[in-house]
């Protein structure tokens, strides 16, 4: 999780290799020339290693009707929701190196099946360092989450709007909802992730009223990518909110031919009116966004059903 420590470790390795090569440099002219070339390449490599920001990749997993978003920051992984069932594993296996099956943080936004149904399959196969939920236990699906104590993960229930709850260098998350036991969608844990060249807003199934509260909180900088709330339901993503955050790109995590008729046509219309390029998991399959140093996203998706 500590990117700075990892950088320092790899710098040490490079310096060690350089000193070994230098100790052999005085043997011949050819050796001296080779040493010079090696030093140039090593110094250029070191420069780029220090100058380049860690890789940021955001993957909208294709889990049908539900949410599961995997964020990679350098060597760290954060998973927001697990989708409705074990289909999430396909996405995790594709993106997380099998010899190190660790997820640094899992956020379960709220205890509805389409967000936490895959939890048990995830916890069976992956080590989870930290877990965040909204603390609701009214829904029976939530009971599986309480088994987490057995995994040894550190569990916490986020607090008020605006607190930084997890960070690695300049990459951090803000919690954005309350703690009522009454509602589920409206009490989703929302997070805003930002770095030097990107801002990603993911608000679970929050509705328009709470989305506007987030947009008006003064805590958001640029939003360059939005996970559309509640799978494109008409109760979320009102035009006023979308125009306030002014995102360039958005994705909807939604199942093909789902019984809710998500996403609503009006929501798609509002997103386009607000100037966002819209991607959908029911059409594109798994969608991957890689932050580019220019501030944009390199977008790849699994299939071309469009
Ligand atoms: Zn949902």
**DSSP string for 23-66:** HTTTS-HHHHHHHHHHHHHHHHHHHHHHHSPPPEEEEE---SSS
Per-residue CA distances from 219 to 41, 192, 213 (Å): 42, 9, 10
Sign of CA dihedral 77, 78, 80, 82: positive
Asked whether the beta carbons of 176 and 203 are under 8 A apart, the reply is yes
pLDDT tens for residues 236-289? 999 999 999 999 999 999 999 999 999 999 999 999 999 999 999 999 999 999
CATH code at 56-301: 3.60.15.10
Ligand 1 centroid to Cα of residue 36, in Å, is 59
Q: What is the pLDDT of residues 152-164, one digit of tens each?
A: 565 655 544 555 5
Give the pLDDT score at 160.
Answer: 46
pLDDT tens, position by position, 36-73? 777 777 776 666 555 555 678 999 999 999 999 999 98
The pTM score is: 0.78
Closest CA to 185 of 238, 291, 113, 117: 113
pLDDT tens digits along 111-120: 899 999 999 8
Is the confidence at residue 135, as pLDDT, over 50? yes
pLDDT of residue 140: 46
- Tens digit of pLDDT for each residue in 208-243? 988 888 888 887 888 999 999 999 999 999 999 999
List pLDDT tens digits, range 119-129.
989 999 999 98
Share of the chain above pLDDT 90, in %: 44
Q: How far, in Å, is the centroid of ligand 1 from the Cα of 33?
A: 62
Residue 230 Cα to ligand 1 middle (Å): 5
Ligand 1 centroid from CA 115, angstroms = 6
Q: At what angle do helices 29-51 and 3-23 cross, to 10 degrees?
A: 170
Q: Which residues surround ligand 1, an ion (CB under 5 A)?
A: 114, 205
Tokens 């965040």 belong to which residue?
A: 132
**Tokens 């998350």 — which residue?**
173
């Amino acid at each position: 999780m500590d990117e700075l420590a990892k950088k320092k470790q790899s710098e040490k390795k490079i310096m060690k290799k350089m000193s070994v090569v230098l100790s052999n440099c005085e043997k011949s002219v050819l050796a001296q020339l080779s040493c010079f070339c090696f030093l140039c390449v090593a110094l250029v490599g070191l420069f780029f290693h220090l100058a380049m920001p860690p890789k940021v990749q955001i993957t909208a997993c294709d889990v049908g009707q539900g949410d599961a978003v995997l964020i990679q920051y350098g060597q760290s992984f954060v998973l927001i929701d697990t989708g409705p069932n074990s289909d999430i594993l396909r996405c995790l296996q594709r993106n997380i190196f099998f010899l190190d099956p660790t997820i640094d943080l899992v956020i379960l936004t709220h205890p509805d099946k389409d967000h936490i149904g895959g939890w048990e399959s995830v916890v069976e196969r992956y080590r989870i360092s930290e877990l965040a939920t909204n603390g609701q236990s009214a829904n029976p699906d939530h009971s599986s989450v309480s088994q987490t104590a057995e995994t040894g993960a550190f569990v916490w229930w986020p607090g008020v709007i605006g607190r930084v709850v997890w960070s690695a260098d300049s990459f951090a998350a803000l919690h954005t909802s309350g703690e009522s036991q009454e509602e589920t969608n409206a009490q989703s844990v929302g997070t805003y992730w930002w770095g030097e060249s990107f801002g990603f807003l993911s608000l679970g199934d929050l509705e328009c009223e709470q989305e506007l509260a987030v947009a008006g909180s003064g805590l958001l900088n640029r939003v360059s990518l939005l996970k559309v709330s509640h799978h494109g339901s008409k109760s979320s993503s009102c035009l006023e909110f979308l125009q306030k955050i002014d995102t360039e790109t958005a994705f909807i995590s939604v199942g093909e031919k789902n019984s809710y008729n998500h996403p609503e046509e009006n929501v798609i219309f509002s997103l386009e009116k607000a100037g966002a390029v819209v991607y959908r998991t029911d059409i594109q399959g798994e969608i991957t966004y890689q932050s580019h140093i220019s501030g944009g996203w390199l977008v790849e998706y699994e299939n071309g059903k469009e």
